[in-house]
Chain A
Amino acid sequence: DSGVTQTPKHLITATGQRVTLRCSPRSGDLSVYWYQQSLDQGLQFLIQYYNGEERAKGNILERFSAQQFPDLHSELNLSSLELGDSALYFCASSVGRSSGQETQYFGPGTRLLVL
């Protein structure tokens, strides 16, 4: 158990819909990262938040957005969903803002299926 929690574990929805994925980092960790894992793209970095502020952006679509709240939990919002958005979404956390040195601890993931 990494200490990172993600809800829900599974999500089934229809195209065009909007969903929210939630992540609680390990106690004391200030950074939250979101990754998408799909069969064709592998593990792709989406976005990082550090202590409530957006710190880095990766291959995140404009239809996707995220935020980190004062209690440090984070939400990833996916809207206008398409079939291709079906994937496993991971949240990870680390202690600081990360220069790449820090260990990132991963949650169990949310499996999203868009029908």
Chain B
Amino acid sequence: AQSVTQPDIHITVSEGASLELRCNYSYGATPYLFWYVQSPGQGLQLLLKYFSGDTLVQGIKGFEAEFKRSQSSFNLRKPSVHWSDAAEYFCAVGPGGSQGNLIFGKGTKLSVKP
């Protein structure tokens, strides 16, 4: 069955430090991969997505992610974290079977130290 694992429940980084959030997926075919961010009290906003082609994808707010098929991973990175990046980050894979829905990981909460 398809699944998404985000191994880190909570990560704290200092402002200005680099960030990497891990995402591993289990999927029978070539997946479509997404990273969403959820700020407190807000809905989910798409950061970036990977469908095919270049395995390094650029997103909004300075984020990027790299698809590594051999490791079944799609890790999210940012070279320098800003305090406003504090939020919860969700990795998702689609489609869920023959359906068009997304399968989400449990999320990683990011805290930023001044």
Interface, chain A (partner B; CB < 8 A): 2, 4, 31, 33, 35, 42-45, 48, 55-58, 90, 92, 94, 97-109
Residue contact A58 to B43, C-beta cutoff 8 Å: no
Residue contact B99 to A106, C-beta cutoff 8 Å: no
Residue contact B101 to A43, C-beta cutoff 8 Å: no
Q: Shortest 5 CB-CB distances between A and B: which pairs? A: A100-B95, A98-B100, A100-B94, A56-B99, A45-B101
Residue contact B43 to A43, C-beta cutoff 8 Å: no
How extensive is the interface on chain B, given as a class?
Answer: 20 to 34
Residue contact A107 to B43, C-beta cutoff 8 Å: yes
User: Which chain B residues lie closer than 8 Å to A106 at the CB level?
Assistant: 36, 43-45
Complex Cα distance, B99 from A43, in Å, reads: 16
Contact with A along B19-60 (1 / 0, CB 8 A): 000000000000010101000011111100101000000000
Give the distance to chain A from B7, nearest Cβ to Cβ, in Å: 14
User: Which chain A residues lie closer than 8 Å to B98 at the CB level?
Assistant: 56
Residue contact B106 to A42, C-beta cutoff 8 Å: yes
* B13 at interface, CB cutoff 8 A: no
Complex Cα distance, B43 from A108, in Å, reads: 4
Residue contact A48 to B101, C-beta cutoff 8 Å: yes
Residue contact B43 to A100, C-beta cutoff 8 Å: no
User: Which chain A residues lie closer than 8 Å to B41 at the CB level?
Assistant: 108
Given A100-B32, A101-B94, A103-B49, residue A58 in contact with residue B99 (CB < 8 A): yes
Residue contact B102 to A45, C-beta cutoff 8 Å: yes
Residue contact B43 to A109, C-beta cutoff 8 Å: yes
Residue contact A101 to B45, C-beta cutoff 8 Å: no
Given A2-B43, A109-B43, residue A45 in contact with residue B103 (CB < 8 A): yes
Complex Cα distance, B98 from A58, in Å, reads: 11
Besides A57-B99, A99-B95, A105-B46, 9 more A-B contacts (Cβ < 8 Å) are A43-B107, A45-B101, A56-B96, A56-B99, A92-B44, A100-B94, A100-B96, A100-B102, A103-B46
User: Which chain A residues lie closer than 8 Å to B32 at the CB level?
Assistant: 100-101
Residue contact B100 to A97, C-beta cutoff 8 Å: yes
Give the distance to chain B from A113, nearest Cβ to Cβ, in Å: 15
Complex Cα distance, B43 from A92, in Å, reads: 9
